[in-house]
Structure formats: structure tokens, C-alpha cells
Structure 1
Amino acid sequence: MSQLTSRRGLLFGTAAVSAGALLAGCTSNEPKEKEQAADPQPAADDKPGKPVTIGFAGPQADHGWLAAINSNAKSRAEKYEDVTLEITEGSNDTAAQIGQIETLINKKVDVLVILPADGKALTQVGLKAMAAGIPVVNLDRIFNTPQAYRCWIGGDNYGMGLNAGHYIGEKLKDKSDARVIELAGLDNLELTKQRTQGFDDALKNYPNIRKVARQAAEFTVESGQAKMAQLLQAQSKFDALWNHDDDQGVGALRAIEQAGRDDFLMVGGAGALSAFQAIKQDEGVLKATVLYPPTMAASAIDLARALGQGKGVGGLAEFEIPASLTLYSAVVDKTNVDQYMSTGFE
């Protein structure tokens, strides 16, 4: 059997049952502490097996969450004696990232893990890898067609908004004419629209709550501070704020402090260490954050290793790894923040 034929077999279901590939934070609505660790421990099937070279390509780590994606992938790969990780420099330029992935294809890596800067724009290179017999684990930002990947794993943007809305709704359910505002991310991203839609859908369950204002920021500290200052100036009274991203939340909290406001509760998003620390101290408006866990990169390495070794996922009856895995957006507040503290990214 040729190398190409054997690789193509992995794409279409010749994998064997295995206890391997524990998926950190993917398989439970109540993740255990061990599954959420920033440096997750390998699964039960961590005994060295067939050597696997994994190519990893992501965007430029110009954001705390993206930097955490890279560090989770690297640290997970280092846990396995049988895994060699070929990681690219990372780029937000579509052409540059395509070139980096094509280099990995030409090197004939066993499996590719790709977090595309733009899923639509990079679909063709995913298709090229699959056609070459290299299974692709598509991380978070999804390609346009399932033919471009063997498995997708990522966060639940709609669920993130939904859980933020329900948390705020439960806190304000007994308050008449409650008012909430929203500090969103980049409005040209589909994920921002999904987060807002989930939030709005959750609030429909609470007829006493109205969303009275919304501003879109840019996932940066500076934009968070500027847009939050505008919201505070326009809204003299509200009861809760949902901020889509903990990085821009650093700026939002600066604006709140400068304005001397403490008459509302704030819920963040993603799971930055600074947010966890503020929640634990419980001395300000930030009371909770909704996870978008970067541990998905560690789980992607597990999936890639399983594909390269012809294994399935422990705890599932199927012979093959699933076609998709959506992470759960857990709410972290002072009741459970200690459990998640080690997962916080800087």
C-alpha cells in the first residue's frame, strides 16, 4: 500500500478503538479541573506509539487568546514522546499563511492542525492537504466546506452569548425594568454576530430586561477603553454589561474606573487570567466571564495524534474520531474561579 493510500484511509474511517485523546473541555458541560488545565496532562493513552509529525499553522499571536492557542499546542505536543510539532511563525496575511501551509504539505507532515486567519480564504489549501492524503484538524475558524477538514474543533460563539445572557438574566430577574448594555467585538466577524444573537436570544426569557445600548470594539485594550467610555457617557444608568472579550475588557474596566462607576455588574468573555483574578478579588464590577477556552489547541493536538496513529477517542464507542467537536462555554464566577485559574491566559 502506498503512503498516499494509507493516509487517505485515515481520512475515511480505518481508525481503531483506543482509550486515547482526552479532549480537554470538549466532552462535558461541567468540565473537570484536570481537563481545563492550561498545561493539560496527557490522556490515559500517553504511552509512546507510532511517531507522528503534526504541522501547526495559525494566525499571528497578536492577542492574548491567540498567544494562548500557540502555547497550548506547544505544551501539549511536548507531553508526547511520539509527536513532532512543526509550527509556523503565524500570519494574519492570507497569502502568507497559505504559503506556510503549502510548505508543511510539501514536507509531507502526517497531520495538519490549522487555525485559519480567514476560514473562507483558506478553504482551498485545506482541500489541497486533504487531497494529498494529509488529514486536517480545522481549529475554531471554520473552512467553507467539510471536505477541507477531517475534524473541526472550536468554541461555541452562540453558546457564549447565550450563557452570558442567562447569567445576567438570573441576576436581574427580580428587578423591574432592568437595563443591559453590550460591548461587542469586531462586527465584520461572524463570531461577533453569533455572540450577540445568543445574548439576545437568552434575554428573550426575561421580559423585565431590555438591552438599551451596544457598541462594537476591536478586541484591543485601547478600543475597549474608548468604546466603553462612549457607552458610559451615553448611558447614565444600567444594571449589567456584557463584554465579548477579556482583552478589550481590560480597557473597558479602565474606563469604568475613570468614570467612577460601580452601579452595575459586568460579565466578560474568553477567560483571561486578569479577569479570573478580578473575579476572585470581587472588589469591582466584573463578576463573571464566559469561557472560550484556548485549551482547544491542546485538544486539537490530541486529535491530530489520534489520526496519525489510527486511533479513536477514549470514552466513545466509534472507531473514528468525530467529525466535529464544539466546546462548552462555561460561566466562571467567584463560586468556581479557583478551578479555572490555571487556564487563564495573559
Structure 2
Amino acid sequence: MTQSLNRRGLLIGGAVVGAGALAAACTGNDPEESTPSQQSVAAGGDNDKAGKQVTIGFSAPAADHGWIAAIAKNAAAQAKQYSDVTFRAVEPTNDINQQIAAVDSLISAKVGALVLLPNDGEQLNQVARKAMDAGIPVVNLDRVFPDKLSYRTWVGGDNYGLGVAAGDYIGTKLKSKGVSNPVIVEIQGIATLPLTQDRSKGFADALKTYGFSVTAKQDAKFTVETGNQVASNLLQAHKKIDALWNHDDDQGVGVLAAIKQANRKEFFMVGGAGSANAMREIKAGGLLEATVTYSPTMASSAIKLARLIAQGKGMTDLVERQVPQSITLASETVTKENVDQYMPLGFES
């Protein structure tokens, strides 16, 4: 278990350094070595031909989490594809007031568009609205602002669908095994976030169609350490488990370590987000049988959309002349049968 946690710590350290480098200055368009599992950019098209020069501001939480680190890397990598884009990333932070101040600095700099992944959508709603009122279109990434006037376009994953996919996988397998009254354990991310609540609702709704329900659930804050602690507590509380759903593959590193330490093998596990670490576990054929995607490539898409909006363009594949108000990514279930197809999109935990 210690080895897994230390490896994670080293990865986090590298991610933080990478994110800090992004924030140090405006990014030009110099080529940069990329890691396939960390950076994904979209292929070029008619809309990718050089147009009006725009500056895109970017703000996200601190990269103390593999998924967040990949968000920052994907955003920077996509911006580098365009000779007409200057990418201006502010220092990532988990402090609400510091993120508000950082976004304020981008507003004062009069950037052409702003891609913003807030630590908390409700708490950053006002500063996002301030940007919109100043004529700066905001592309709201992932954690949504409650006020639709605070963003031009939202792009993110299907959290409800993620829960449904996990519930369908577990429900189908338990039904096929003839299990009745199963013990189903759920480990959430941050329980207070709407995205977590959507995931749990989707999971519960899907299980209900099979006549099942969640036996116990607890949140693990999206961290390896808390994931390890919460899993250990749930394993001690339930001497027999039939299935476990863990919302987040990053915290899943700690969850898996706890399971291995307890030497529990009577159940199967489903993850969430689609990390490379989880996909390797799935391919190896262990307790973790599946994960449901929530890809950080959404940051690449957010940069593309911000550029189009700032340049007054629409999406060439659509009839409409303007970029849509919201774009929801599909939640795809990754299993041993299709894991090789999804591995290039995995991010390192």
C-alpha cells in the first residue's frame, strides 16, 4: 500500500510543477513534447485555419489530482495548435478567494475569452458573471455555474450518465449471477458538489431498474489518502460485499490499495473517469473490472470553443451559426474487451 501511495505522490509533484510552468507566462506556439495519456488535441478542420488573433484566459484548481493535471495539460496543448491564439493561464489554486482574484486579473487584462473550471461553481458564479458583463465570453468547464448568465457555453461530462453506466454494469452482472439482496458499496468524490450528487442519483436510478439499491456510501474527497481511509472503513464495516462503485479513479488508487491490504476478493469494482492506471488494472484482470469515462479532453474542446466564440464563428459540422450553449460528453464504459481502444485517452493518476 505504501508503495502505491508514494508513487502517486511523485506523480502529483510532477503535475504541480507542470501546471506551475503553464501559469508562469503567456504561452506561445512553440512545439512541446507531449505524453499521449496526458495531452489530447483535436485534429484540424476548416475552422482551425488562422483567423483573428485572440487571447484565451484559463483558470483551474491546483493540479493535486491526476484528472485536474490532465485538464491543464490538454488546455495548453490545444491552444498551441493555433497560431492565432495566445494562451494566458493564471496560477492554479484550491483557494476560492485566490481563484476569484486570478480571474479578476484576466478580466482586467481584457482577454478575448475565458475558460474557467471553478473550484466551486456557486462560489465563483459572481466573478464569472462579472466577466460576461464585461463582454468576455466564459466557457464554463465541468463544474457548472448556477446562473446561466455567468457563462456563454458549458462543456463537461455527463455525471448522471456516468452513474447510470456504472449502475447498469453492476446491475447486469449481479442479475446474471443470480445474486439477490446484494451488498453494494459506493465511494463518492466530494459529496457537496452537484456533479457528485448527479453521479449518485444516476447510479441509484439505474440500480433501481434491477431491483437493487446502495447499501452504504461515503465520500472520499477525490484524494488517494481519503480514498484509502474510506475504503478501509467500509471494508471493516461490511464483511461481505458484492460490488463496489468508486466515483473517481484518482482516489481509486487508495481504494485499491486498501482492498489489496485487506486481502478482499469476494466482490468486483467499477471506477469512474477513465485514468490510465485504472485501465491498466482492468487489462490485468483483477477486482477492477470497468471504469466509466469522464475525459479531461473536455479541456481541449473548451479551448476550441472559446476560440470560435471569440472569433465569432460557429461549428462547421452544425447548421447553426453560433456555438451551442452547452455540450455534454458521453459516458463510455471501459472493460477488458475494449480497454485498448480507450488507453490513449487515459490520464495518469
Please tell me the TM-score bracket, short chain as reference.
0.7 to 0.9
1:79-131, CA deviations, whole angstroms, 9 ceiling, x for partnerless residues? 11111100011112222111111111111111111111121111111111111
Contact 2:38-2:74 within 8 A present in 1 as well? no
The corresponding residue for 1:335 is 337
CA offset at residue 42 of structure 1? 3.0
Q: Are residue 243 (structure 1) and residue 260 (structure 2) matched?
A: no
Q: Are residue 272 (structure 1) and residue 287 (structure 2) matched?
A: no
Of 162, 183, 188, the match for 2:187: 183
Q: Letter of the aligned partner of 2:73 in structure 1?
A: S
SS of the equivalent of 1:214 reads: strand
Of 197, 202, 212, the match for 2:201: 197
CA offset at residue 179 of structure 1? 2.7
CA offset at residue 190 of structure 1? 2.2
Q: Letter of the aligned partner of 1:251 in structure 2?
A: G
CA offset at residue 41 of structure 1? 3.0
SS of the equivalent of 2:215 reads: strand
Between 160-169 and 230-239, the greater mean CA deviation after superposition: 230-239
Contact 2:38-2:347 within 8 A present in 1 as well? no
Q: After TM superposition, which residue ranges in structure 1, 4 or more long, deviate above 3 angstroms?
A: none
The corresponding residue for 2:25 is none
The corresponding residue for 1:40 is 41
1:51-83, CA deviations, whole angstroms, 9 ceiling, x for partnerless residues? 111001111111111111100100011111111
Report how many aligned residue pairs link the two structures: 309
The corresponding residue for 1:23 is none
CA offset at residue 309 of structure 1? 1.5
* Pair 223,73 (structure 1): closer, same or farther in 2 beyond 3 Å: same
Distance 2:128 2:229 in 1: 38
Contact 1:288-1:332 within 8 A present in 2 as well? yes
SS of the equivalent of 1:342 reads: helix
Contact 1:115-1:138 within 8 A present in 2 as well? yes
Q: Letter of the aligned partner of 1:161 in structure 2?
A: G
TM-score by length of 2: 0.85
SS of the equivalent of 1:276 reads: helix
CA offset at residue 37 of structure 1? 8.8
Between 42-51 and 127-136, the greater mean CA deviation after superposition: 42-51
Of 55, 58, 61, the match for 1:59: 61
Distance 2:60 2:190 in 1: 19
SS of the equivalent of 1:173 reads: helix
The corresponding residue for 1:7 is none
Contact 2:38-2:70 within 8 A present in 1 as well? no
Distance 1:210 1:219 in 2: 23
Distance 1:168 1:58 in 2: 33
Tell me the percent identity: 55
CA offset at residue 186 of structure 1? 2.0
Structure 1: tracts of 5 or more residues without a match: 1-35
Of 111, 115, 134, the match for 1:113: 115
The corresponding residue for 2:255 is 252
Structure 2: tracts of 5 or more residues without a match: 1-36
1:287-326, CA deviations, whole angstroms, 9 ceiling, x for partnerless residues? 1111111111000000011012211113211000000111
State how 1:140-289 maps to structure 2 within 5 Å.
140-174=142-176, 175-177=178-180, 178-207=182-211, 209-282=212-285, 284-289=286-291
* Pair 274,79 (structure 1): closer, same or farther in 2 beyond 3 Å: same
Between 45-54 and 265-274, the greater mean CA deviation after superposition: 45-54
The corresponding residue for 1:15 is none
CA RMSD of aligned residues (A): 1.5
CA offset at residue 189 of structure 1? 2.0
